[in-house]
Amino acid sequence: MKTSELRSLPVEELKQKLEDLVDELANLRIQKATHQLVSPSRIREVRRGIARHRTILREYEMGISKPKIES
Helices (H) and strands (E) in the chain, counts: 3, 0
Please provide the size of the chain in residues.
Answer: 71
Does pLDDT of 67 surpass 70? yes
State the sign of the Cα–Cα–Cα–Cα dihedral 19, 17, 27, 41: negative
Q: Report pLDDT digits (tens) over 1-56.
A: 788 899 999 999 999 999 999 999 999 999 999 999 999 999 999 999 999 999 99
> Any idea which fold 3-62 has?
Helix Hairpins (1.10.287)
pLDDT digits (tens, 9 = 90+) for 39-49: 999 999 999 99
d(CA 54, CA 23): 15
- Distance CA(16)–CA(10), nearest Å, equals 10
Domain boundaries, the chain: 3-62
Residue 71 banded pLDDT, cuts 50, 70, 90: low
